[in-house]
């Protein structure tokens, strides 16, 4: 979230799209209802009418996988009706910049496409710069090559008729949403968007979010109270684990994972350090080397020296052009290229797409370790349905882990609040916290290396590995302090202007990432978390102050919000170039005299109108402005509608490209695809029920199982009638990759769509079930049906749109 | 100090997350039943001895064909004129100082009369223990100045509890703010319930929600008429016999006139 | 036992009568204890109200069984009204309510007793049926169960009233009656006063049994 949960109450219009907030984020929904009490419009756009829809002002059904078409239509509507926040768009976005003359877009393809590699050469996806390297700008927005005009041109094709025909949304409904949401372009109005896995689980996932970002920038909704793009993230500490680099392509704090060609720290820093010659751009990522060096110091402590590149060479490197997402890993596993595997707190036999392939892949492992609360479909894959245990050679280790309530540590919510929490109960039996398990395994590996030696010993034996407390137990506070960072030696910083000296002692915690150094005098495991302890070592994550001085629900003394306890990021964009808030009723920030008052400002510099010291508000961007033209994406700088890998259409109604051109399609014999196939005529989507947790360890909880006892498929009464199915009857659901059984839930809440003149039926299934338990039903995972394909930016699988058939069991 | 409390259920804020349903089971240590999916989110299908509160899910199509999904937290309404209290032979069911109807399970003899006296079908029988069970509004928590488990668990503020007058004012204010078909349900019958709904839809749209709940006529005849009449009849026959004896006198046997009979035995 | 007393009842009749009477008494006590909270203490005597409820249930079954036997025994003599014989008695209320010089003569049972028989037979059956439904209410419709509460309590009122009158009459209301249900022997005087026609009938067809004498002995006619 750019904003935070409580801030949802400050919104004037909340578009819930790609999220089932009431069901999957019940606590967040409290603040959405507060906004409704204030008179905000709450709109739900979703293939299904859910518990969220029931509490919104209205629900608009949309065919799975057509979000970009819907949002593209909104961009066109906003531009056509001139609903943009003019000043904001001109000064705070790249709308005024001029796009490279060689940039082009034709029939669904952007310039530079290499059909063989299914990737783009992005060299023309740039904007023009003057001789000083400063972007050329046309503040009239009239230059035909300026971003604004090119945006207008790009979305010209997204007419109401076209969008309605693609999405299955009636024109009236489209207009209703566009009008209502477009109204938040008024400077003193704010609209916000809540999304979740309903957007990310598509082959176009990242671009859907990009499309919404463009809308938010056009309407001036970024950085303001009640605005922003708000990913409602999952209960399993999704925000925290992403911040701390659970993904293969990042290091903690979203630093880039180095690849093989970047063999020295200098080359690495050179590549990723952002450059700008614009005096009005803060260009915060110019500090990149400070964060990498401090990270390396946190990894290897005193062993990391300037002489050895701070141990940069000990970091693992990605092979150039190769990906290591869960889907790629499973593909390699199935190809027999992987020997051992840690399923750490995960149940991939249920949760990963194309379960048949996953389970066959697991059989090819030599060993597997599953760290989990319960035995599950992954650790017991060798005795699963259709598997002969005698034929499986994989050695499986199940390590019992403690639940989140059975260990202390930090947890980050979607609003980037890092909250310290305490152990509520001891773990049962032999269960241990993940930290303890990791520590003990690493201790054993290091002991083996010390005794026997081995290849690549340096990163292992040089590792700073002192996370035990005085009793010899794993101490999460020590880890947290290492992440926050500390001074590795006494450091005196002299203020160049006042001459005042700031004395920092060795070992003191770093109070802010602004204090991090490139010379190794600071160590910091994750620069974003610098400041989670103050310099005296007080744990700010454990703070529970209930004061709210702004009255906007920022609660600055409750826990720590990265970065620097900022509650709403890009908050300088909530003020006009003179530093006056656009919405005087919600003074998130205001330039008073010589400083910002309100939230922790996005940098101390004066507002933009100060031509000398003033800075653009989007300080993390090299040019300081919000990116309407976004060349960072792999499949194009403007979001474009493509059909899902499996859909009901043979031709993309808006271009010649049916599938996102940059998508990787796996080639194994189990990666079968059935687009627009008569045998699989219904669009299916998957989701999680309120009552269950992810891949379903809550199936062990009798009360929750009582409430949601077995797998089901939601199916419209019209389709049920067509298929002769009765409510509560058992059915078989099949895709080209597999089939599962479940109960038919016949409902009026689902309605068929009219798409390109055809009636398209949509069905939906929850993803929380598996064969392992409860034994009485043993309905297997819906991911037997889903394809292993994902967004080419994130490799998040396309769980939300694929094709199935339904028949009586 | 104790005072009359009302639990306000604002259905316009309910997201049917069922936190209340589970929290109730947790606090009251009620075991789960092994259920089936019957083609509905509603589960268990009805209130049970071990399910004191239940979210009812109902798909409702209005006249213009719009489908609405209605949720209703069902459970004990804690009537002032409570049928269950009226019929309970052992005072196992009783009104507390907060106005709610509590249950002393130890006193319950399993007669089940309350099940037939309740206009809402709330008390449920457990054959294994031969006792009935129902929500007691977490009486022990109220005594300890704690919120009932359901209210505590509610994420959206659909459940609130507070002094009667304040809650009723809130309820009417909310119904007015919602406008349309919204209404307040609970204060106008059985002398006022201690659970009051704000219904966003017309009351008659909701399944299993009685439109004019009252204690059944037979129960009133039984407990309001025949029960006191029992005492009157007892008094009348005693008085009648006594009057008969002193006014008319006994019907004596005829004099024994033979020598064989009488006192010669 | 005095010589010359007349045998009015058989031992079996007395046993059945007392089964009925005692179970009825038990049911009244336990029933009232559940009806009136102030009588809940009676439950404490037998270890709680749940026990008392069980006692009521099984007592009810015993009562029901006794009732069936009793109906079988008494049906012939007490179950049938005869207008010729009974009407005059009814008109004079059997001399119980105002002074009547010559009480119309009736047979073994007078119409008051016959009415009592019917109240006990029908009321008892109603109590048995409604009681069983109340015992197992889950098998019946809600309306039926609720109606049974009314039937059961109304039945109680009527039976209670009649039993009290019965008790009054057999004790101080018509002295000399009680021995009929204890020893089975009554005095001839009582017989003459209460059941002169029965006495005559027995004398005439020779079924009269007299204590210490031969059954057919005509002792006196005075």
What's the ipTM?
0.94
B54 min Cα distance to partner chain A (Å): 10
User: How many folded domains does chain C comprise?
Assistant: 1
Residue in C1, C147, C189 closest to B218 by CB? C147
pLDDT at A294 over 90: yes
Query: Is there an interface between C and A (3+ Cβ pairs < 8 A)?
Result: no
Nearest to B248 by CA among B240, B260, B256: B240
Phi-psi domain of A473 (left: phi exceeds 0; alpha: psi -120 through 50; beta: other): beta
Q: Which of B91, B112, B124, B218 to mutate to test the interface with C (most CBs of C within 10 A)?
A: B218
Chain B residues close to A710, C-beta within 8 Å: 36-37
Residue C151 domain flag: yes
By C-alpha distance, the chain A residue nearest B156 is A30
CB contact under 8 A, C174 and B250: yes
- Render pLDDT for A430-446 as a digit per residue (tens, 0 to 9): 999 999 999 999 999 99
B42 min Cα distance to partner chain A (Å): 7
Residue in B91, B130, B248 closest to C37 by CB? B91
Cβ contacts of A622 within 8 Å, gap of 6 or more: A274, A275, A276, A281, A283, A285
pLDDT at B1 over 60: no
Q: Which of B36, B53, B72, B156 to mutate to test the interface with A (most CBs of A within 10 A)?
A: B156
- Write the DSSP assignment of A30-99 as a string of letters: HHHHHHHHTT-EEEEE-SS--HHHHHSSEEE---TT-HHHHHHHHHHHHHHTT-S-HHHHHHHBGGGBBB
Could you give the CA distance from residue A463 to residue A452 in angstroms, rounded to a whole number?
17
Res C204: pLDDT: 87
pLDDT at C184 over 90: no
CB contact under 8 A, B67 and A749: yes
Chains in touch with C (3+ beta-carbon pairs under 8 Å) read B
Mean pLDDT value across residues A622-649:
97
Domains and CATH numbers, chain A: 5-234 (3.40.228.10), 682-808 (2.40.40.20)
CB contact under 8 A, B236 and C145: no
Res C222: pLDDT: 35
Determine which helix (DSSP H) or strand (DSSP E) holds B8, and give its type and residue range.
strand B5-10
Res C116: pLDDT: 87
Residue B51 buriedness (CB in 10 A; 0-12 / 13-18 / 19+)? buried
CA distances from B252 to A31, B239, C173 (A): 90, 21, 8
Mean pLDDT value across residues A343-359:
96
Chain C residues close to B217, C-beta within 8 Å: 146
Cβ contacts of B3 within 8 Å, gap of 6 or more: B98, B163, B164
CB contact under 8 A, C219 and B258: yes
Among A55-64, A362-371, C5-14, the minimum mean pLDDT is found in C5-14
Res B265: pLDDT: 37
Mean pLDDT value across residues A24-29:
93
- Render pLDDT for A716-738 as a digit per residue (tens, 0 to 9): 999 999 999 999 999 999 999 99
Residues 9-38 of C with CB under 8 A from B: 32, 34-37
Chain A residues close to B35, C-beta within 8 Å: 705-707, 709
Q: Does C181 touch chain B (CB under 8 A)?
A: no
* Beta strands A560-561; A109-110: pairing state: unpaired
Range of the domain at C158: 10-79+102-179
Residue C4 domain flag: no
Res B131: pLDDT: 97
Phi-psi domain of B18 (left: phi exceeds 0; alpha: psi -120 through 50; beta: other): left
Chain B residues close to C32, C-beta within 8 Å: 230
Residue in B87, B90, B112 closest to C49 by CB? B90
Assign C128 to helix, strand or coil: helix
pLDDT at C215 over 50: no
- Provide, rounded to the nearest whole percent, the portion of chain C with pLDDT above 70: 95
- Say if residues A684 and A756 touch (Cβ distance below 8 Å): no
Nearest to A718 by CA among A688, A682, A674, A767: A682
Could you give the CA distance from residue A554 to residue A4 in angstroms, rounded to a whole number?
8
Residues 193-222 of B with CB under 8 A from A: none
CB contact under 8 A, C189 and B110: no
Res B47: pLDDT: 97
* Beta strands A250-251; A730-735: pairing state: unpaired
Determine which helix (DSSP H) or strand (DSSP E) holds B55, and give its type and residue range.
strand B53-61
Determine which helix (DSSP H) or strand (DSSP E) holds B103, and give its type and residue range.
strand B101-103
- Render pLDDT for A187-239 as a digit per residue (tens, 0 to 9): 999 999 999 999 999 999 999 999 999 999 999 999 999 999 999 998 888 99
DSSP type of residue C175 = T
Res C213: pLDDT: 65
Residue A124 buriedness (CB in 10 A; 0-12 / 13-18 / 19+)? middle
Tokens 């409570």 map to which residue? B82
Could you give the CA distance from residue C132 to residue C148 in angstroms, rounded to a whole number?
9
**CB–CB contacts below 8 A, A to B:** 103
Cβ contacts of A427 within 8 Å, gap of 6 or more: A400, A401, A402, A403, A406, A407, A433
Q: Does B144 touch chain A (CB under 8 A)?
A: no
- Say if residues B241 and C164 touch (Cβ distance below 8 Å): yes
- Render pLDDT for C137-148 as a digit per residue (tens, 0 to 9): 999 999 999 999
Nearest to A227 by CA among A386, A428, A92: A92
Res C218: pLDDT: 46
Q: Does B26 touch chain A (CB under 8 A)?
A: yes
What are the tokens at A407?
Answer: 């260990």
Could you give the CA distance from residue A331 to residue A358 in angstroms, rounded to a whole number?
8
B34 min Cα distance to partner chain A (Å): 6
- Render pLDDT for A136-180 as a digit per residue (tens, 0 to 9): 999 999 999 999 999 999 999 999 999 999 999 999 999 999 999
pLDDT at B259 over 50: no
pLDDT at B204 over 90: yes
Chains in touch with B (3+ beta-carbon pairs under 8 Å) read A, C
Could you tell me the pLDDT band of residue C7, with boundaries at 50, 70 and 90?
Answer: confident
By C-alpha distance, the chain A residue nearest B23 is A703
CB contact under 8 A, B33 and A706: yes
By C-alpha distance, the chain B residue nearest C43 is B90
Which residues, listed in sequence order, are joined to residue A808 by a DSSP beta bridge? A731
Could you give the CA distance from residue A426 to residue A431 in angstroms, rounded to a whole number?
9
Which residues, listed in sequence order, are joined to residue A43 by a DSSP beta bridge? A15, A58
Residue C31 domain flag: yes
Could you tell me the pLDDT band of residue B2, with boundaries at 50, 70 and 90?
Answer: low
Res A702: pLDDT: 96
Among A358-372, A447-461, C81-95, the minimum mean pLDDT is found in C81-95
Mean pLDDT value across residues A782-802:
97
Which residues, listed in sequence order, are joined to residue A250 by a DSSP beta bridge? A256
pLDDT at B248 over 90: no
Res C100: pLDDT: 76
Could you tell me the pLDDT band of residue B74, with boundaries at 50, 70 and 90?
Answer: very high
- Render pLDDT for A508-548 as a digit per residue (tens, 0 to 9): 999 999 999 999 999 999 999 999 999 999 999 999 999 99
> Rounded to 10 degrees, what is the CA torsion of A545, A409, A225, A50?
-120
Q: Does A709 touch chain B (CB under 8 A)?
A: yes
Residue C196 domain flag: no
CB contact under 8 A, B252 and C188: no
Chain B residues close to C168, C-beta within 8 Å: 237, 241, 244-245
Residue C222 domain flag: no
- Say if residues B170 and B8 touch (Cβ distance below 8 Å): yes
Q: Does C76 touch chain B (CB under 8 A)?
A: no
Could you give the CA distance from residue A185 to residue A222 in angstroms, rounded to a whole number?
11
- Say if residues A84 and A799 touch (Cβ distance below 8 Å): no
pLDDT at A16 over 90: yes
Q: Is the peptide bond before B44 cis (omega within 30 degrees of 0)?
A: yes
What are the tokens at B177?
Answer: 């703010």
Could you give the CA distance from residue A681 to residue A646 in angstroms, rounded to a whole number?
10
Could you give the CA distance from residue A362 to residue A581 in angstroms, rounded to a whole number?
56
pLDDT at B257 over 60: no
Tokens 């007793």 map to which residue? C113
Among A595-604, B141-150, C150-159, C204-213, the minimum mean pLDDT is found in C204-213
pLDDT at B98 over 60: yes
C81 min Cα distance to partner chain B (Å): 23
Determine which helix (DSSP H) or strand (DSSP E) holds B75, and give its type and residue range.
strand B67-75
CB contact under 8 A, A49 and B69: yes
By C-alpha distance, the chain B residue nearest A37 is B177
Could you tell me the pLDDT band of residue B4, with boundaries at 50, 70 and 90?
Answer: very high
Residue A110's φ and ψ, nearest 5 degrees, are: -90, 165
CB contact under 8 A, C165 and B264: no
CATH code: domain of residue C15: 1.20.950.20
Q: Does B105 touch chain A (CB under 8 A)?
A: no
CB contact under 8 A, A708 and B70: no
Could you give the CA distance from residue A258 to residue A315 in angstroms, rounded to a whole number?
8
Could you give the CA distance from residue B123 to residue B47 in angstroms, rounded to a whole number?
9
B130 min Cα distance to partner chain A (Å): 23
Could you give the CA distance from residue A684 to residue A241 in angstroms, rounded to a whole number?
29
Could you tell me the pLDDT band of residue A325, with boundaries at 50, 70 and 90?
Answer: very high
CB contact under 8 A, B35 and A29: no
Q: Is the peptide bond before A563 cis (omega within 30 degrees of 0)?
A: yes
Q: Where are the beta strands (DSSP E) in A540-636?
A: 560-561, 589-592, 595-598
Res C75: pLDDT: 87
Provide the 10 A C-beta neighbour count for residue B154.
25
Q: Does C175 touch chain B (CB under 8 A)?
A: yes
What are the tokens at A538?
Answer: 């007080």
Residue C40 domain flag: yes
Q: Does C207 touch chain B (CB under 8 A)?
A: no
CB contact under 8 A, B41 and A52: no
CB contact under 8 A, A749 and B69: yes
Nearest to B181 by CA among B206, B202, B197: B202
Q: Which of C49, C51, C176 to mutate to test the interface with B (most CBs of B within 10 A)?
A: C49
Rg (Cα) of chain B, in Å, rounded? 26
Could you give the CA distance from residue A78 to residue A95 in angstroms, rounded to a whole number?
14
DSSP type of residue A311 = G
CA neighbours within 13 Å on the CB side: how many for A780?
Answer: 24
Determine which helix (DSSP H) or strand (DSSP E) holds B85, and give its type and residue range.
helix B83-87
- Provide, rounded to the nearest whole percent, the portion of chain A with pLDDT above 70: 100
Residues 120-149 of C with CB under 8 A from B: 134, 137-138, 142-143, 145-147, 149
Res B256: pLDDT: 54
- Write the DSSP assignment of A514-525 as a string of letters: GG--SSSSEE-S
């Amino acid at each position: 979230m750019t904003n935070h949960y409580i801030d949802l109450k400050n919104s004037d219009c909340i578009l819930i799209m790609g999220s089932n907030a009431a069901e999957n984020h019940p606590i967040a929904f409290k603040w959405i209802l507060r906004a409704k009490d204030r008179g905000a419009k709450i709109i739900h756009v979703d293939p299904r009418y859910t518990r969220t829809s029931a509490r919104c002002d209205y629900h608009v059904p949309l065919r799975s996988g057509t979000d970009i078409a819907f949002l593209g239509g909104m961009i066109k509507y906003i531009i056509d009706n001139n609903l943009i926040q003019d000043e904001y768009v001109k000064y705070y976005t790249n709308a005024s910049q001029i796009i490279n003359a060689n940039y082009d877009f034709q029939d669904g393809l952007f310039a530079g496409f290499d059909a063989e590699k299914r990737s783009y050469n992005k060299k023309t996806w740039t904007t023009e710069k003057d001789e000083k390297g400063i972007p050329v700008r046309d503040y009239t927005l009239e230059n035909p090559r300026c971003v604004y005009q090119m945006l207008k041109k790009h979305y010209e094709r997204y007419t109401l008729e076209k969008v309605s025909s693609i999405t299955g949304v009636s024109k009236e409904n489209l207009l209703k949403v566009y009008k209502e949401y477009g109204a938040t372009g008024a400077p003193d109005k704010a609209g916000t968007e809540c999304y979740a896995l309903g957007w990310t689980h598509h082959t176009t996932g990242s671009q859907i979010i990009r499309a919404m970002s463009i809308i938010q920038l056009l309407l001036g909704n970024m950085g303001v109270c009640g605005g922003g793009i708000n990913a409602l993230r999952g209960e399993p500490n999704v925000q925290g684990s992403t911040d701390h680099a659970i993904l293969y392509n990042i290091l903690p704090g979203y630093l880039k994972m180095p690849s093989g060609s970047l063999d020295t720290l200098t080359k690495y820093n050179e590549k990723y350090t952002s450059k700008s010659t614009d005096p009005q751009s803060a260009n915060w990522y110019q500090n990149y080397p400070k964060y990498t060096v401090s990270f390396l110091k946190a990894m290897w402590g005193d062993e990391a020296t300037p002489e050895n590149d701070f141990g940069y060479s000990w970091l693992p490197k990605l092979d150039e052009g190769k990906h290591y997402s869960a889907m790629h890993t499973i593909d390699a596993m199935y190809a027999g290229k992987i020997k051992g595997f840690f399923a750490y707190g995960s149940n991939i036999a249920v949760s990963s797409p194309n379960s048949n392939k996953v389970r066959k892949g697991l059989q090819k492992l030599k060993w597997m370790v599953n760290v989990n609360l319960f035995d599950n479909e992954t650790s017991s894959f060798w005795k699963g349905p259709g598997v002969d245990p005698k034929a499986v050679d994989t050695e499986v280790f199940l390590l019992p882990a403690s639940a989140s309530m059975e260990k202390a540590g930090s947890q980050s919510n979607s609003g980037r609040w890092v909250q310290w929490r305490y152990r509520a109960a001891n773990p049962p039996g032999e269960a241990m916290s993940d930290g303890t398990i990791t520590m003990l395994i690493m201790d054993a590996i290091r002991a083996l290396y010390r005794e026997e030696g081995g290849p690549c010993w340096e990163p292992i034996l040089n590792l700073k590995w002192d996370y035990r407390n005085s009793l010899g137990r794993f101490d999460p506070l020590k880890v947290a302090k290492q992440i926050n960072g500390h001074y590795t030696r006494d450091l005196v910083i002299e203020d160049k202007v006042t001459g005042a000296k700031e004395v920092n002692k060795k070992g003191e915690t770093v109070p802010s990432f602004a204090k991090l150094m490139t010379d190794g005098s600071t160590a910091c495991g994750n620069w974003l978390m610098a400041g989670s302890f103050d310099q005296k070592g007080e744990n700010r994550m454990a703070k529970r102050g209930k004061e709210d001085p702004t009255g906007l629900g920022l609660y600055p003394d409750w826990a720590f919000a990265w970065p620097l306890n900022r509650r709403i990021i890009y908050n300088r964009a909530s003020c006009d170039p003179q530093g006056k808030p656009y919405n005087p009723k919600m003074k998130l920030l205001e330039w008073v005299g010589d400083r910002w008052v309100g939230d922790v400002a996005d940098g101390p510099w004066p507002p933009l109108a100060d031509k000398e010291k003033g800075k653009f508000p989007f300080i993390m961007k090299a040019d300081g402005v919000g990116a309407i033209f976004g060349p960072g994406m792999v499949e194009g700088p403007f979001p474009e509608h493509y059909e899902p890998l499996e859909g009901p259409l043979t031709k993309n109604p808006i271009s010649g490209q049916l599938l996102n051109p940059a998508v990787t399609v796996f080639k194994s014999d189990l990666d079968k695809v059935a687009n627009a196939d008569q045998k699989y005529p219904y669009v299916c989507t998957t989701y999680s029920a309120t009552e269950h947790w992810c891949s379903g360890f809550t199936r062990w909880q009798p009360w929750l199982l009582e409430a949601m006892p077995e797998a089901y498929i939601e199916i419209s009464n019209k389709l049920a009638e067509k298929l002769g199915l009765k409510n509560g009857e058992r059915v078989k659901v099949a895709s080209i990759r597999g089939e599962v059984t479940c109960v038919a839930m016949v409902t009026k809440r689902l309605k068929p769509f009219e798409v390109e003149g055809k009636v398209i039926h949509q069905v939906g299934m929850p993803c929380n079930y598996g064969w392992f338990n409860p034994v009485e039903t043993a309905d297997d995972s819906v991911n037997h049906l889903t394809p292993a394909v994902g967004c080419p930016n994130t490799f998040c699988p396309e769980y939300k749109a694929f094709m199935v058939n339904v028949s009586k069991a | 100090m104790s005072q009359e409390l009302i639990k306000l259920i604002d259905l316009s804020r309910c997201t049917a997350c069922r936190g209340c349903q589970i929290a109730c089971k947790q606090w009251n240590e009620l075991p789960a039943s092994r259920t089936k999916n019957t083609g509905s989110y509603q589960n268990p299908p009805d209130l049970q001895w071990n399910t004191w509160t239940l979210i009812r899910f109902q798909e409702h199509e209005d006249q213009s064909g719009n489908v609405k999904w209605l949720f209703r937290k069902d459970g004990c309404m804690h009537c002032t004129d409570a049928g269950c209290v009226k019929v309970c032979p052992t005072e196992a069911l009783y009104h507390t100082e907060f106005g709610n109807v509590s249950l002393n399970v130890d006193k319950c003899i399993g007669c089940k009369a309350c099940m037939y006296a309740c206009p809402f079908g709330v008390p449920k029988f457990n054959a294994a223990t031969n006792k009935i069970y129902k929500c007691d509004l977490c009486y022990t928590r109220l005594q300890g100045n704690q919120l009932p488990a359901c209210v505590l668990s509610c994420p959206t503020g659909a459940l609130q509890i507070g002094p009667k007058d304040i809650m009723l004012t809130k309820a009417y204010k909310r119904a007015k703010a919602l406008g349309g078909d919204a209404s307040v349900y609970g204060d106008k019958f059985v002398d006022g319930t201690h659970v009051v709904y704000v219904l966003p839809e017309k009351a008659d749209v909701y399944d299993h929600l009685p439109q004019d709940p009252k204690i059944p006529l037979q129960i009133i005849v039984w407990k309001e008429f025949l029960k006191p009449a029992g005492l009157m009849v007892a008094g009348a026959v005693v008085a009648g016999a006594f009057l008969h004896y002193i006014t008319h006198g006994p019907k004596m046997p005829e004099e024994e006139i033979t020598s064989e009979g009488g006192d010669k035995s | 036992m005095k010589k010359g007393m007349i045998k009015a009842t058989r031992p079996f009749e007395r046993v059945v009568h007392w089964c009925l009477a005692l179970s009825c008494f038990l049911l009244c006590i336990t029933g009232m204890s559940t009806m009136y909270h102030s009588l809940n203490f009676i439950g404490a005597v037998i270890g709680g109200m749940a026990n008392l409820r069980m006692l009521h249930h099984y007592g009810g079954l015993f009562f029901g069984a006794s009732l069936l036997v009793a109906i079988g025994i008494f049906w012939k003599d007490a179950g049938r009204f005869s207008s010729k014989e009974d009407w005059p008695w009814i008109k004079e209320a059997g001399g119980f309510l105002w002074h009547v010089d010559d009480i119309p003569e009736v047979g073994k049972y007078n119409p008051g007793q016959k009415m009592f028989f019917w109240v006990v037979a029908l009321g008892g059956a109603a109590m048995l049926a409604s009681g069983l439904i109340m015992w197992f209410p889950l098998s019946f419709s809600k309306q039926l169960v609720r109606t049974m509460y009314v039937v059961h309590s109304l039945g109680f009122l009527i039976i209670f009233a009649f039993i009290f009158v019965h008790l009054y009459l057999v004790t101080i209301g018509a002295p000399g009656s009680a021995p009929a249900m204890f020893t089975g022997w009554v005095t001839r005087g009582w017989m003459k006063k209460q059941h002169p026609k029965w006495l005559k009938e027995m004398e005439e067809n020779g079924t009269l049994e007299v204590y210490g004498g031969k059954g057919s002995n005509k002792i006196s006619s005075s």
